[in-house]
């Protein structure tokens, strides 16, 4: 196998690992850990547990953000349908731009939740509700990214105009 193919395969694998770590972590947290902790521990211990989990997962999320940006840039060089960030001239470019917009929103929500939410002067119940809302919003965006990725794979890198 040529070296270029090996490098492309490894970059793609890393991109997939970063995606799985971040979005898989969101899915696991929202659909399994949080409901099980609430049912088993109650609200106050659940909040302490979620704070501890968030502290550990934030490192994974930060690494994933940087890793996705770097591997995404490297992968875009290989995609003939890539016209640059936020171009909407072809079906492929439009889907890719929507995916990038969703990822930017995910990054913004994740950074706000992990770096700024604790500093807001809000009553604890309101802060917890906001934190959960941001977590669920990020999960919805993450699933949207995966759906858009599926559509990108289906469309291929064809450069047919939109419409």
Q: Is residue 159 within 8 Å of residue 91, measured between CB atoms?
A: no
Confidence of residue 28 (pLDDT cuts 50, 70, 90): very high
Q: What is the pTM of this model?
A: 0.84
Q: In this predicted structure, what is the pLDDT of residue 131?
A: 85
Look at the block and give the residue holding tokens 């993450």.
Answer: 142
**Cα–Cα distance between 146 and 23 in angstroms, integer?**
9
DSSP conformational letter for 87: -
Mean pLDDT check: name the lowest of 82-96, 100-114, 124-138.
82-96
Per-domain boundaries in the chain: 3-155
Rounded alpha-carbon distances, angstroms, from residue 18 to 2, 15, 23, 97, 155: 25, 5, 9, 19, 23
Q: In this predicted structure, what is the pLDDT of residue 158?
A: 54
- If you count them, how many residues does the chain have? 163
Q: Is residue 62 within 8 Å of residue 69, measured between CB atoms?
A: no
Look at the block and give the residue holding tokens 């699933």.
Answer: 143
Task: Kindly tell me if the per-residue pLDDT of 13 is higher than 70.
Answer: yes
Task: Kindly tell me if the per-residue pLDDT of 163 is higher than 80.
Answer: no
Mean pLDDT check: name the lowest of 37-51, 60-74, 103-117.
37-51
14 Cβ contact partners less than 8 Å away, ≥ 6 residues apart: 67, 71
Q: In this predicted structure, what is the pLDDT of residue 70?
A: 93
Mean pLDDT, rounded, of the chain: 86
Phi, psi of 82 (to 5 degrees): -75, 120
Neighbours of 18 (CB within 10 A): 22
Query: What value does the mean pLDDT take over residues 91-118?
Result: 89
Q: Is residue 112 within 8 Å of residue 104, measured between CB atoms?
A: no
pLDDT digits (tens, 9 = 90+) for 134-162: 999 999 999 999 999 999 888 875 554 55
């Amino acid at each position: 196998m040529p070296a270029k193919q090996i490098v492309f395969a490894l970059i793609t694998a890393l991109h997939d690992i970063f995606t799985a770590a971040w979005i898989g972590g969101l899915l696991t947290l929202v659909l399994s850990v949080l409901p099980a902790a609430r049912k088993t521990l109650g609200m106050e211990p659940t909040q302490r547990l979620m704070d501890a989990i968030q502290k550990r997962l934030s490192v994974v999320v930060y690494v994933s953000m940087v890793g996705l940006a770097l591997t995404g840039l490297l992968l875009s060089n290989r995609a003939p349908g890539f016209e640059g960030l936020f171009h909407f001239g072809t079906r492929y470019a439009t889907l890719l731009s929507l995916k990038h917009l969703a990822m930017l929103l995910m990054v913004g929500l994740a950074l706000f939740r992990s770096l700024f939410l604790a500093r807001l002067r809000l009553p604890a119940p309101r802060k917890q509700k906001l934190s959960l809302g941001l977590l669920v919003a990020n999960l919805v965006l993450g699933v949207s990214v995966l759906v858009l990725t599926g559509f990108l794979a289906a469309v291929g890198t064809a450069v047919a105009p939109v419409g």
